[in-house]
Amino acid sequence: MRWRPWFVTALALLAALGRLSTALASSGLSAQESSAPSGQPEGLRALDGEWIYVEDRTEGRALEQLGPPMASKFSMRVEDGAVILDGHGSGHRHVRITLDGSITEVADPKTTSRYRGTWKDGTFEYQVEFVRASDNAPDGSIRMIRRSFRMTADGLLVNVVVDPPVVKDAVGLYRHAEDIALPEPAKAGIGDLAWLAGAWVGTRSSGSSIEERWSPPLGGAMLAVSRSVNTRGQMFAFEYLRIVERDGGLVYIAQPGGKTPTEFVLTETVAEQGSRRAVFENPRHDYPKRIAYEISAEGRLSATIGFTRGGTPQRFEFKREGS
C-alpha cells in the first residue's frame, strides 16, 4: 500500500527523537538548558535589566552631598561573553563591553572613548578612558572613569572612581523598580489642597519666568499647566499636572512636555501657623523622587523637587499673579 513508506519513515523519526531525549536526560540537561549561552560566568546574569538609584552609601558625605554615583537610571543587557551598556553617561548608547579585556572604542568628533571590561570574583568592572585632541598635547589628554557592579542582598552596589579625582570615590545602591518599596500614602481629600489653587508666577535664577496655574478642587481633582519662558520671550518647557483622589489619598501626576505620565503619592500634608505643605513621593522614579509644595503664612508658594533624602533639591519660588 502507498502509505506504508510514510509509516516506516514516521517510526524512524520517532525513534530518533526518543534517542535525543534520552541523551539529554542522561546528561542532566533540558532542551532549554542545552541552548543556554556557553562561557557565561556564573552570577553575571543577575546584572541584567534596568536599575534605579536608591541611596548613596559613600562614607563620610554630608547630607547635601548625597546623590547617585552615576546616572539615576541605567541598564545593562547580558549576553554571551559581553555586557551591553545603556545610560551610563558619555552620551553613548548600546556600548558592547566584552569580558576578555579587549578594548571597545567609540569615536566622537572631539573625543575617543576606550572601554575595557572584566568579570572577577562576582564583580563586573569596566573602565573608560577619554582621549581628547588638544593643540598643546598632540597625543591627547586622558581622563579615566572606573565603575564596578556587584550584587548584594540589598541590591546592586555600584562603585565609581574618577582619575584624576574630582570627588571622593562614590558608592551607591540600585535596585530594579519592582524591588523598591513604595511609601505609605497619607489620608487626604482633594479639598485639603485648596490652598494650591490659583495662578502662580516666578523667576528662575537664569532670569527666565516660570508659572503654574492650578484649578480649584472639583470632581475629586485639581488640574494645572506649567510654562517656562526665557528672557527672549520664547517658551522652552511646559508640563501638564494633575492631583487626583485615589483610595483615600491623593496622587500627583506629572507630564513634562506632555509625555508619559509619572505618578507620585501624597505622603505628608501639614497645616500649622498659617502655612501649608504637601509632599509627594515616587522612589521608583529616577528623578525627581520627591515633590513638595509649601505656602507660607505670607502667601508665598515654593515648589521643591529632588531625591527622597539628601542632595541639593531644585527650588522654585512663586507669588500669586498680580500681587
**Residue whose C-alpha is closest to residue 106's, from 86, 129, 135:** 129
pLDDT averaged over every residue in the chain: 86
- Per-domain boundaries in the chain: 44-178, 190-320
The per-residue pLDDT for range 123-168, each reduced to its tens digit, is 999 999 988 866 454 444 558 999 999 999 999 999 999 987 766 7
Q: Extract the C-alpha cell encoding 136.
A: 598643546
CATH of 44-178, one of 2.70.170.10, 3.40.50.10320, 3.40.960.10, 2.40.128.20: 2.40.128.20
**CA–CA distance, 199 with 166 (Å, rounded to integer):** 43
Give this prediction's pTM. 0.83
pLDDT above 60 (res 1)? no
Q: How far apart are CA 314 and CA 193, in angstroms?
A: 22
Which CATH superfamily is 190-320 part of?
A: Calycin beta-barrel core domain (2.40.128.20)
Decide whether 44-178 matches 190-320 in CATH topology.
yes
**β-sheet with 156-163: strand ranges across:** 93-98, 82-86, 73-79, 49-56, 170-175, 156-163, 141-151, 123-132, 111-120, 103-107
Element containing residue 6 per DSSP (H, E): helix 4-26
The arithmetic mean of pLDDT across residues 107-129, rounded, is 93
